[in-house]
Amino acid sequence: MRSAIVHIVTRKAVQRASRDHLLVEKCIHSQLSAEMTKEEPDIQMLLDHAKDLFV
């Protein structure tokens, strides 16, 4: 029983860490995209096109 509890707690910790990692990655990507489009406005058109291809 104890090992099952440890497994459940560990799995939740891994799930949280994975979710948090994805959220941080998304924030960093958004900031990078914003910086890139400030410096080169034409990049926004390319980013929009890429988003359309992968959504």
Joined together, the tokens standing for residue 8 give 């459940």
Least confident of 8-12, 30-34, 44-48: 8-12
The conformational region for residue 24 under phi > 0 = left, psi -120 to 50 = alpha, else beta, is alpha
pLDDT of residue 26: 93
**14-37 residue pLDDT tens:** 888 899 999 999 999 899 988 888
pLDDT of residue 5: 66
Whole-prediction pTM value? 0.60
43: Cβ contacts below 8 Å, ≥ 6 apart:
36, 37
Chain centroid to Cα 13, Å, comes to 18
Q: How many CA atoms lie within 13 A of 19 on its CB side?
A: 6
